Amino acid sequence: MDGILIKGGTLVSASGRSHADLLLQGGKITQVGENLNADGAEILDASGCYVLPGCVDPHVHLLLTSGSFTTADGYFTTTRSAACGGVTTVLDFAEQHAGESLLEVVQKRREECEAEACVDFSFHCNPTDISDGQVRELAALKEAGVTSLKVYTTYKQAGFYLDAHSTLRVMEEAARQRISVSVHAEDDDLVQGFAAEYLAAGKKGLRYHGEARPPVIEELAIADLLHLAAATGAAVYFVHLSSPRSVQMVRKAASRGIRAIAETCPHFLVLDDSVYLSEDPSPYIMTPPVRGPESREELWRHLLDGDISTIGSDHVGYTLAQREGVENFTEVAPGIPGVEATLPLMYTYGVVRRGMALEQFVDLLSTTPARLFGLYPRKGSLMVGTDADVTVYNPNPQGVFRASEMHSEAGYTPYEGLERSGEVRTTICRGEIVYRDGEFVGERGFGKFLQRTAAAA
């Protein structure tokens, strides 16, 4: 067949919606209009559905090793989950270890991922050691199409941490190269100090995971990084913000001209800290932890007001078996699966429950992450000439989230039993259907590495 003609749906972009048809040919969107016809094209009837730009998830760990733990999910299974959740582009992380070249790290990750991924992908490069002058590689990284970094202010023992002086030097060069810097912001001294206090008091069970990581840990790190951003002019993207005060700090900094951007995650918007008092808290171990109900509702207010720019799943596909028998919260590898659930969660709890405009919904999940990370308009839009990345979402079916219906090798979902409005009906990546009516139909290795332009932030 000569392409795909999507008919009868409501096209939704960040700027508006319309009843129009969409013709996809040669991996691109070739026509948008009413009553289109195309000889030989497969007809996809989207009546009653929303036709959206494929989601761009800016925060996905396709394969992660932390200490002695490696995720059950890998490049193929995580991108399969993405496809089944309406996500056509993921941004993963290429972690550097001591002495490694940043370029070599990215090239190795690219080769591994190209053989496995079934949707398109790129990387944030995660420097952890610049003692051999690796900061000078940022210009070459940019030429290779990797235009964002990630730094951690914690996880010394896991090997992800970058000290403050090195972070300053990285941010200085990143600003010169117009490369953005994503930050996992938790102050490591406070992390270690609170953990030691809790363990000394005999409070070591998983139920104390949230208590032992209070919001001040995140907020102090953000304050420090905002000072560095002001000093260097670097664009700083704060990942997985859990605290409303953190969002307020980022918003105020941005109003003063500091290039600061806020991301949050679905789990901070639909869960609360009561999960740590449940009989089994292990499905909810992530960092930062989820906060109280009042913080959750205040995050929603900030999101609806536009203070938060993007939604990232922070997908990490560990299994619950990897946590079985662990009785010390400091010994658990944190992270939860989520890339497949993000779109229906945000539709259910944002659009349906809180009246979020469909345009803002698309902007948060697709257009703004594409723009911030140098992919727009190739990704994140439904314009003629752009990649034919399309998600057809049926808003009508009502159900609940079930791990048994999902595709992560983690084997569970932290959203088990939560109500769901609608479902992904079809996911199309570069003109190829990769998910249709409950079945993954993509191919291992179909996904392409995306060379990105300089950050727009």
pLDDT tens digits for range 394-453:
999 999 999 999 999 999 999 999 999 999 999 999 999 999 999 999 999 999 999 999
45 and 71 part of one domain: no
The domain tally of the chain equals 2
200 and 286 part of one domain: yes
168 and 236 part of one domain: yes
pLDDT at residue 222 in the model: 99
47 and 151 part of one domain: no
Q: Quick one: average pLDDT of 83-91?
A: 99
85 and 102 part of one domain: yes
pLDDT in tens, 10-54: 999 999 999 999 999 999 999 999 999 999 999 999 999 999 999
Smallest CA-to-CA distance from 29 within 306, 397, 431, 428 is with 431
The residue type at 376:
Y
pTM for this entry: 0.97
| Domain residue limits at 315 | 55-372
83 and 182 part of one domain: yes
Position of tokens 């690219």?
110
**How far apart are alpha carbons 158 and 285 in whole angstroms?**
16
pLDDT at residue 393 in the model: 99
330 and 246 part of one domain: yes
pLDDT at residue 168 in the model: 98
Residue 451 domain flag: no
Residue 255 domain flag: yes
pLDDT in tens, 333-358: 999 999 999 999 999 999 999 999 99
Smallest CA-to-CA distance from 268 within 303, 236, 237 is with 303
CATH of the domain at 18: 2.30.40.10
**How far apart are alpha carbons 391 and 424 in whole angstroms?**
7
46 and 113 part of one domain: no
Is 80 exceeded by the pLDDT of residue 379?
yes
Confidence of residue 97 (pLDDT cuts 50, 70, 90): confident
Residue 35 domain flag: yes
pLDDT in tens, 161-205: 999 999 999 999 999 999 999 999 999 999 999 999 999 999 999
pLDDT in tens, 115-164: 999 999 999 999 999 998 999 999 999 999 999 999 999 999 888 999 99
Is 90 exceeded by the pLDDT of residue 99?
no
Q: Quick one: average pLDDT of 308-320?
A: 99
175 and 133 part of one domain: yes
pLDDT at residue 457 in the model: 54
Which tokens sit at 446?
Answer: 């179909």
**Are 5 and 44 within 8 A, CB to CB?**
yes
